[in-house]
Amino acid sequence: MATENESRTFPLGQTVATPNALDTLNPEDICVALRRHAACDWGDCGAHDANENEFSLGKHLRLFSVYHDRHGTKFWIITEADRSATTILLPEDY
């Protein structure tokens, strides 16, 4: 049986990553995080950002998640408001 978050999804659009993210992160960690993001599991973002995502989900606004890879490197996943693209990046790439 699916959990509440697993039953909710949204389109990711074209998935892209910054060169820095591709050079730094393990591809498996990226895939796991993308699945979590698409299932509305916002990862390690704070309560304010998680609440903003919940509001934004139905309003077609930008969605923002925070994850850490197997080495503890923080990375972000951002889906554009129109759901045309999702970007994987490190905070310093922003």
Span 6-51, pLDDT tens digits? 457 899 999 999 999 999 999 999 999 999 999 999 999 999 999 9
Q: What is the pLDDT of residue 3?
A: 43
Q: Quote the domain boundaries for residue 68.
A: 14-93
Q: What is the pLDDT of residue 58?
A: 85
Q: What is the pLDDT of residue 7?
A: 55
1 in a domain, yes or no? no
3 in a domain, yes or no? no
Averaged pLDDT score across all residues of the chain: 92
Total domain count for the chain?
1
82 in a domain, yes or no? yes
- 42-63 mean pLDDT: 95
- The full 3-state SS of 27-89, as one line of letters, equals HHHHHHHHHHHHCCCCECCCHHHHHHHHHHHHHCCCEEEEEECCCCCEEEEEECCCCCEEEEE
Query: CB–CB of 91/23 below 8 Å?
Result: no
Query: CB–CB of 24/91 below 8 Å?
Result: no
